[in-house]
Amino acid sequence: QHIWNSHAASARQAGVSGALVEALRERTALPALAADESAVVQYGQEFFRTHRVSRGAWQAGLEQFGRQGVVELGLILGNYSLLALLINSFDTDLPADRTEPLLPV
Protein backbone atom coordinates (compact mmCIF):
# COMPACT_ATOMS: atom_id res chain seq x y z
CA GLN A 1 0.00 0.00 0.00
CA HIS A 2 2.82 2.40 0.87
CA ILE A 3 4.62 1.90 -2.44
CA TRP A 4 1.40 2.24 -4.44
CA ASN A 5 0.35 5.40 -2.63
CA SER A 6 3.70 7.07 -3.22
CA HIS A 7 4.07 6.15 -6.87
CA ALA A 8 0.50 6.44 -8.12
CA ALA A 9 0.35 10.07 -7.00
CA SER A 10 3.76 10.75 -8.57
CA ALA A 11 2.65 9.15 -11.83
CA ARG A 12 -0.40 11.38 -12.01
CA GLN A 13 1.76 14.45 -11.35
CA ALA A 14 4.15 13.35 -14.12
CA GLY A 15 1.28 13.21 -16.62
CA VAL A 16 0.24 9.55 -16.56
CA SER A 17 -3.48 9.47 -17.20
CA GLY A 18 -5.81 8.81 -14.31
CA ALA A 19 -7.49 6.11 -16.40
CA LEU A 20 -4.20 4.22 -16.70
CA VAL A 21 -3.41 4.58 -12.99
CA GLU A 22 -6.86 3.30 -12.06
CA ALA A 23 -6.71 0.39 -14.52
CA LEU A 24 -3.36 -0.68 -13.10
CA ARG A 25 -4.66 -0.36 -9.54
CA GLU A 26 -7.80 -2.36 -10.28
CA ARG A 27 -6.02 -4.79 -12.65
CA THR A 28 -8.59 -4.16 -15.35
CA ALA A 29 -8.24 -3.63 -19.09
CA LEU A 30 -5.91 -0.77 -19.89
CA PRO A 31 -7.06 2.28 -21.82
CA ALA A 32 -5.57 2.97 -25.23
CA LEU A 33 -1.90 3.86 -24.80
CA ALA A 34 0.76 5.50 -26.90
CA ALA A 35 3.32 2.99 -28.23
CA ASP A 36 6.00 4.02 -25.72
CA GLU A 37 3.60 3.76 -22.77
CA SER A 38 2.36 0.39 -23.98
CA ALA A 39 5.93 -0.91 -24.28
CA VAL A 40 6.77 0.13 -20.71
CA VAL A 41 3.56 -1.27 -19.23
CA GLN A 42 3.83 -4.58 -21.10
CA TYR A 43 7.50 -4.97 -20.14
CA GLY A 44 6.79 -4.09 -16.52
CA GLN A 45 3.76 -6.34 -16.17
CA GLU A 46 5.67 -9.32 -17.55
CA PHE A 47 8.71 -8.52 -15.43
CA PHE A 48 6.74 -8.37 -12.18
CA ARG A 49 4.21 -11.13 -12.89
CA THR A 50 6.48 -13.81 -14.38
CA HIS A 51 10.01 -12.60 -13.52
CA ARG A 52 10.75 -12.88 -17.24
CA VAL A 53 10.15 -10.74 -20.30
CA SER A 54 8.94 -12.27 -23.54
CA ARG A 55 10.62 -11.67 -26.87
CA GLY A 56 7.60 -9.59 -27.88
CA ALA A 57 7.88 -7.28 -24.88
CA TRP A 58 11.64 -7.00 -25.39
CA GLN A 59 11.14 -6.17 -29.08
CA ALA A 60 8.49 -3.55 -28.33
CA GLY A 61 10.85 -1.94 -25.82
CA LEU A 62 13.74 -2.13 -28.27
CA GLU A 63 11.71 -0.44 -31.01
CA GLN A 64 10.66 2.37 -28.68
CA PHE A 65 13.82 2.98 -26.66
CA GLY A 66 16.74 1.24 -28.37
CA ARG A 67 19.00 -1.37 -26.80
CA GLN A 68 20.40 0.89 -24.10
CA GLY A 69 16.94 2.20 -23.25
CA VAL A 70 15.42 -1.25 -22.81
CA VAL A 71 18.37 -2.34 -20.65
CA GLU A 72 17.91 0.79 -18.54
CA LEU A 73 14.18 0.00 -18.25
CA GLY A 74 15.08 -3.44 -16.88
CA LEU A 75 17.52 -1.87 -14.42
CA ILE A 76 14.93 0.65 -13.26
CA LEU A 77 12.39 -2.12 -12.68
CA GLY A 78 14.99 -4.19 -10.82
CA ASN A 79 15.89 -1.21 -8.63
CA TYR A 80 12.21 -0.61 -7.96
CA SER A 81 11.86 -4.27 -6.90
CA LEU A 82 14.77 -3.90 -4.50
CA LEU A 83 13.29 -0.79 -2.93
CA ALA A 84 9.84 -2.40 -2.68
CA LEU A 85 11.31 -5.39 -0.84
CA LEU A 86 13.10 -3.05 1.54
CA ILE A 87 9.97 -1.00 2.25
CA ASN A 88 7.92 -4.17 2.69
CA SER A 89 10.38 -5.45 5.28
CA PHE A 90 9.45 -2.59 7.59
CA ASP A 91 6.09 -1.92 9.17
CA THR A 92 5.48 1.36 7.37
CA ASP A 93 2.35 3.36 7.92
CA LEU A 94 0.55 5.14 5.14
CA PRO A 95 0.96 8.89 5.22
CA ALA A 96 -1.89 10.70 6.94
CA ASP A 97 -2.33 12.93 3.89
CA ARG A 98 -2.46 10.09 1.33
CA THR A 99 -4.44 10.84 -1.79
CA GLU A 100 -4.70 7.46 -3.48
CA PRO A 101 -7.31 4.80 -2.68
CA LEU A 102 -5.94 1.59 -1.21
CA LEU A 103 -5.06 -1.28 -3.50
CA PRO A 104 -7.64 -4.05 -3.60
CA VAL A 105 -6.39 -6.93 -1.52
What's this model's pTM, rounded to 2 decimal places? 0.80
Task: Write the single-letter amino acid at 24.
Answer: L
Q: How far apart are the first and last CA of the chain?
A: 10
Where do runs of H (alpha helix) occur along 1-105?
A: 2-13, 18-26, 35-50, 55-88
pLDDT in tens, the chain (105 residues): 888 888 898 899 999 999 999 998 998 999 999 999 999 999 999 999 999 999 999 999 999 999 999 999 999 999 989 988 888 888 778 878 888 888 887
